[in-house]
Structure 1
Amino acid sequence: MKLIFLTLLVIIGITDSRSEQYVVVGPADPVIALAGEDVILPCSVKPNISVVDMRVEWFRSDLIDSVVHLYEDHDDRNTNQSQSYRGRTKLNHEELQRGDASLKLSSAQVSDEGRYKCLIQSKSWSGNATVDVSVEAVGSPPVITVDGFDQSGGLLLQCESEGWYPEPVLEWLNSEGVRLSSETTETHRNEDGFSVKHTVTVYERDSKIHCRIKLKHHMLETMIIATSNMFNLWTTSVILISLAVVLSVNAGILIAVFTKNNRKFDQRLQNQKMIILQEVTHLRTHTVNVILDADTAHPHLFVSLDRKQIFVCVRAPFQSCSGFEFLFGVLVVLVPSRLDIHRHLSSPAR
């Protein structure tokens, strides 16, 4: 009985000693990944032994249910793999024979930043290593635009860029490399990273102004020359604005005068209209019964039998008018020429 017990203790001791001989090793420093590029997450067993027959699992320890990659029973089994990693992870099966379980992550994204665990298990032992991943995204080259002038004639410059991660540092520098203080700063973050926008006012003519954006190991820079012509635009703008103000004031005065005179004219027309209406009303109340004299009428005029109406004949004098010619003359001449007929009737008989 004692012999069996001692034998078991020896076997367990041997197993534990073998287990303690192997360790899963990861990188000592965080792994830096550049957005859009591939990155290797190191993980291996020391001393080197084959892990082909073992279980290798990569997962995010800072997230829940985040399986990054699973190797088991000599094959990749990513049925439960996190959606954001699908099609972007790979283990080198040849390297597994040498104890290397490093993971290749393709097209790194900002969301890939975090803490990863590399877990290797066999039937007799298991071990894990931690891999911290930092993602850097280099944004677009900075763009400088002229945003006008301030009240004292300073040139307003604006520099902006987007797509950075983590948040970059933007700074202005003059020709001598001296930093200029940004007057306004804007920073926004979205799924693509950070966007920054800074403004500065420049008073030096013919000077080089630099906009520089830095992010750890990366830097982008753009330059603009503040020429005298740019500052001359301010003087021209002031003159044009002053002229526009003067013209606006004069136009306002002219409009006011025209409106006032127009109102007076409208009032005068209304008064004249009232006078005419009064005259017409007065004339209507003093109408008389007129009897026309056919003997003294114009040769082209024909007086009706009741001597109350007059018609026009288009034929020569002393010739009788046929029905059509007579009516044609009445319709055409009588209606539009009533005032002319009135003048004929009012003229002395010939």
Structure 2
Amino acid sequence: MSPVKVSLLLVLHHGVLLFLTRCCEGQSHMIGPTQPVVAMIGDDIILPCHLEPAVDAVKLTVEWSKQDLTPRFVYVRRVGVELLTEQNSLYTKRTSLSVSKLQCGDISLKLSTVKLSDAGTYKCLVPKFGAESAVQLAVGSVSSPLIELSTVKNKVVLECKSNGWYPEPQLLWLNREGKLISAEPTKTVRGSDGLYTVSSKVSVEKGHSYSFTCRVQQKSISQIKEAHIHVSGQSHMIGPTQPVVAMIGDDIILPCHLEPAVNAGDLTVEWSRNDLKPRFVYLRRDGVELLTEQNSLYTRRTSLSVSKLQCGDISLKLSTVKLSDAGTYKCHAPEFSAESVMELTVGSVSSPLIELSTVKDKVVLECESNGWYPEPQLLWLNSEGKLISAEPTKTVRGSDGLYTVSSKVSVEKGHSYSFTCRVQQKSISQIKEAHIHVSDDLFMVQSDTAVHIIVNLVLCLISVGTITSILFIIWRQEQKKTDEREMRMEEHSQREGEEKNRLKDELKNHEEDLTHIHQIIKNQNEKKKDLKNQRDKLNSLLQEDKAEMKEVTSKLKKPPKKKHEQWQDDLKKRMEEHEELLVITDKLMEATENIIIQMTERKVKLEKDTEKNRKHLKN
């Protein structure tokens, strides 16, 4: 082949390649999900959609729509601006695109707080490329089922119920091997909110043990929820094995639950004390508290947790415990002939105090502690923690039923000792202590608790004549004047200190306010700058719109006329939107400017006040 022919073929080859490249430019297409997107009510989800190959879509027109709506637009963006006026009100403040992802051709829609009505087919469109994709959204709602147990003659009836489902679910009963068992037909009710409630019952002979599973499932949203129950032929009550201990004024729980766990929401639950009339501390029948049969001593002080009842927990909450609450309580569920007995021990404690006095050549320490219940024991310990002999403990019980205990120990003067007074009550596991150190010069060091020291001193004044008495009186008068002067000076100094502290606090507050105001002014100036750029951009877009409108108007008389008229209508809408955005931007700029002026005036005033405070503090 001659060189000329080869050259011609190469030129022709490159021309064809260039032609094909030019023809393929702009043939971007839309990629969406191949399977429905599934979301639960209340979720925030993404409806995926992106251009392939990726191009910057920030300034492109992007439309998300739902054909069964009027207006149909879920989200519209033109020339980099969201057009809220064309958006369906059902989606107000619930849709958005990521600007950073738009730069990569990702025009996926974020839909917040999904509603049941959001389910359907969405269309993602970029008109410039004629590219679109359909996305199916399936909206679901689920909840865990609950199993309730009741007895009818010689049978135990289990009812499984689950509400708040969408789409309509299926309810199945399974045995412990996971195999389906026969049950009553499922009842289905759809509420005013569009959600479904399903329920079904299964009966079991008494005297046998069974394990069952209630399964509620919805395959189209891939959701399964289950509840399990074990039915024992001998249901029983579980309570505490040790006494429950509480302090006066506490809120406590008396534990009691059914084993195996069953829903006790509609069962009869009795809490009683046989030493009371009426004996009921708390009574509940068919899900209702019977206050008329309750002992008045427990009015508004007892309650059960409704949520825990569903799990078989019938523990009693007793508030503001009193000394009279101590005793034996019985927890009873008549349907199961199940009961549990427990003991409540009520206690009261306080820290002991040590007082010191001197009698001749001895130092007497007296320890006292009041407000105890049950009656406590008082012990004296030395520095090695060993018991020492002391006077017998005196015990007094007050009208409130609480005990006060006291005891004395004597110490020879001229020696150093360390002592501990311990008050304890083993039945409520409570110990309180006070410590004291007695030195040879009667110097006491206190630790852990307050030590009240009483030193009885006798001052003997012997008269040595009239002159001495007169001199003493004159000295006392002068001393009184001196004390008054010192007191006035001290009060003046105290007032000055308080004023100084007030000025310091005021200065600190002013400085914090100034920092905050500086930040506000800075932020508002940045906002003002952004709004100015936005206004300039909108003015530029309006100029382009007008130029384009002029061009369209000149072409109206030329074919295709219908296309040019449509073009003109689109331009008019776009110009209206840009003008509306411009008005909003101007208003925002005006409001921002007013805030800057107000904050600047506030800043100047604060700076003056701050400077004044600093001068006062220096003087």
1:132-151 pair list within 5 angstroms: 132-139=343-350, 141-149=351-359
- Aligned-partner Cα distance in 2 for 1:235–1:94: 64
Equivalent residue, structure 1, for 2:255: 42
When residues 79 and 236 of structure 1 are mapped into structure 2, their CA distance, relative to the original with a 3 A threshold, is closer
Aligned residue among 379, 386, 392 for 1:184: 392
Aligned residue among 167, 174, 184 for 2:375: 167
* 1:226 pairs with 2:417: no
Q: Which amino acid aligns with 1:156?
A: V
Contact 2:261 2:311 in 1 (8 A): yes
Equivalent residue, structure 1, for 2:313: 100
Contact 2:418 2:436 in 1 (8 A): yes
Bigger mean CA deviation after superposition, 98-107 or 200-209: 200-209
Counting matched residue pairs gives: 227
Segments of structure 2 that go 5 or more residues without pairing to the other structure are 1-152, 157-203, 210-231, 444-453, 463-619
Alpha-carbon deviation of 1:130?
0.5
- Aligned-partner Cα distance in 2 for 1:235–1:212: 26
CA RMSD of aligned residues (A): 3.2
Segments of structure 1 that go 5 or more residues without pairing to the other structure are 1-8, 244-350
Contact 2:378 2:393 in 1 (8 A): no
Alpha-carbon deviation of 1:11?
7.1
Aligned residue among 203, 207, 223 for 2:417: 207
Equivalent residue, structure 2, for 1:25: 238
When residues 175 and 57 of structure 1 are mapped into structure 2, their CA distance, relative to the original with a 3 A threshold, is same
Equivalent residue, structure 1, for 2:467: none
Q: Which amino acid aligns with 1:84?
A: L
Q: Which amino acid aligns with 1:134?
A: T
Equivalent residue, structure 2, for 1:156: 364
- Aligned-partner Cα distance in 1 for 2:303–2:456: 64
- Aligned-partner Cα distance in 2 for 1:129–1:234: 57
Alpha-carbon deviation of 1:179?
1.6
Alpha-carbon deviation of 1:94?
1.1
Identity across matched positions, percent: 36
Aligned residue among 322, 339, 354 for 1:128: 339
Q: Which amino acid aligns with 1:220?
A: K
1:262-277 pair list within 5 angstroms: none
1:310-329 pair list within 5 angstroms: none
When residues 211 and 11 of structure 1 are mapped into structure 2, their CA distance, relative to the original with a 3 A threshold, is closer
Contact 1:207 1:227 in 2 (8 A): yes
- Aligned-partner Cα distance in 2 for 1:28–1:220: 27
- Aligned-partner Cα distance in 1 for 2:287–2:266: 6
Equivalent residue, structure 1, for 2:206: 15
Q: In structure 2, the residue corresponding to 1:95 is in which secondary structure?
A: helix
RCO higher in structure (CA 8 A, sep ≥6): 1
TM-score by length of 1: 0.58
When residues 235 and 61 of structure 1 are mapped into structure 2, their CA distance, relative to the original with a 3 A threshold, is closer
Alpha-carbon deviation of 1:225?
2.4
TM-score by length of 2: 0.34
Contact 2:250 2:320 in 1 (8 A): yes
Equivalent residue, structure 2, for 1:324: none
Contact 1:184 1:200 in 2 (8 A): no
Over residues 249-296 of structure 1, what are the superposed CA-to-partner deviations in whole Å (9 max), with x where a residue is unaligned? xxxxxxxxxxxxxxxxxxxxxxxxxxxxxxxxxxxxxxxxxxxxxxxx
Over residues 64-86 of structure 1, what are the superposed CA-to-partner deviations in whole Å (9 max), with x where a residue is unaligned? 42321111121212223222211
Contact 2:263 2:311 in 1 (8 A): yes
Alpha-carbon deviation of 1:135?
1.7
Contact 2:357 2:455 in 1 (8 A): no
- Aligned-partner Cα distance in 1 for 2:322–2:207: 41
Over residues 297-337 of structure 1, what are the superposed CA-to-partner deviations in whole Å (9 max), with x where a residue is unaligned? xxxxxxxxxxxxxxxxxxxxxxxxxxxxxxxxxxxxxxxxx
